[in-house]
Amino acid sequence: MRNPFIEFHPDRFKKREHHAERIITVKEDVIGKLTEGYLQILEEEIDNLSWMVEHHHIVNVDEKILDDIQYLEYSFYDIEAFCAQMDNADSLQLMVPGPAGLYISALINNSKDGHFVLRLADYQYTFHFLGYRLPENATLILEGNAGDFIGAALNGGSLIINGSVGNWCGAGMLNGDIQVKQNAGEKTGEWMHGGAIRVNDSIGSIGETRYGGQILQHGKSVD
């Protein structure tokens, strides 16, 4: 069987002009390694393209990514460049949203930086799972609308979404703070154990199974 990911190669990516100035020759090897690691995850997940979300499966994929990148030196600019390359890839229809978001989140969680801003409005595709397991003392700001499972399993970090989020926001979060400046979708806070989710506008529905934590809408608790 022909590998459907063969065309999804770093050399085929088009770089957006607002990212190009940040990418210097010495960093191209880093971006290549990030992309190769992501492709490896995709190849391993080829039988899970529908990506039924199961907790143990998500944890296993996250651990694989962290094992792959733990000794790789990169900056947040490299993460931005990686996102831009994926967004401009000709074969992005093959991108599985779950692994893509998990890969970006793992890069953020493994980074030495503590403050991150992702300008989602710059991208034509929607990323899910951003902010997954965001650790204590880390702040992630998402400029624009985000997908599903944003802030899932948040682990003490601060996640700010200057836009709206999809379904399952903060699912299984342990601690920390999520601020949604606009709307949140269905099952918000499902399985959450601690922390707070603050939504400025509408909430599609609140998760039926919760073990702790607090959900606030317009500054008032909805418990």
Residue 44 CA, chain-centre distance (Å), reads: 19
Using CA atoms, how far residue 138 sits from 52, 115, 135, 142, 187, in Å, is: 28, 6, 6, 13, 25
Domain annotation covers residue 26: yes
Torsion, CA 133, CA 139, CA 144, CA 145, rounded to 10:
20
Domain annotation covers residue 213: yes
Domain annotation covers residue 1: no
Confidence of residue 201 (pLDDT cuts 50, 70, 90): very high
Residue-wise pLDDT tens digits, 79-124: 998 888 877 766 544 456 678 889 999 999 999 889 999 999 888 8
Do 94 and 178 fall into the same domain?
Answer: no
pLDDT over 70 at 169, yes or no: yes
Q: How many separate domains does the chain show? A: 2
pLDDT of amino acid 90: 60
Domain boundary among 113, 140, 171: 113
CA distance 123 to 121: 5
pTM: 0.83
Do 146 and 77 fall into the same domain?
Answer: no
Q: Which domain holds residue 204?
A: 114-223
Domain annotation covers residue 2: no
Residue-wise pLDDT tens digits, 46-67: 565 445 567 777 888 889 899 9
Confidence of residue 35 (pLDDT cuts 50, 70, 90): confident
SS3 of 206, please?
A: strand
Q: Transcribe 1-47 into DSSP letters.
A: ---TTTT--GGGPPPPHHHHTT--HHHHHHHHHHHHHHHHHHHHTGG
Do 129 and 82 fall into the same domain?
Answer: no
pLDDT over 60 at 27, yes or no: no
Confidence of residue 127 (pLDDT cuts 50, 70, 90): confident
pLDDT of amino acid 196: 98
Cβ neighbour number for residue 3 with a 10 Å cutoff:
10
Do 62 and 90 fall into the same domain?
Answer: yes
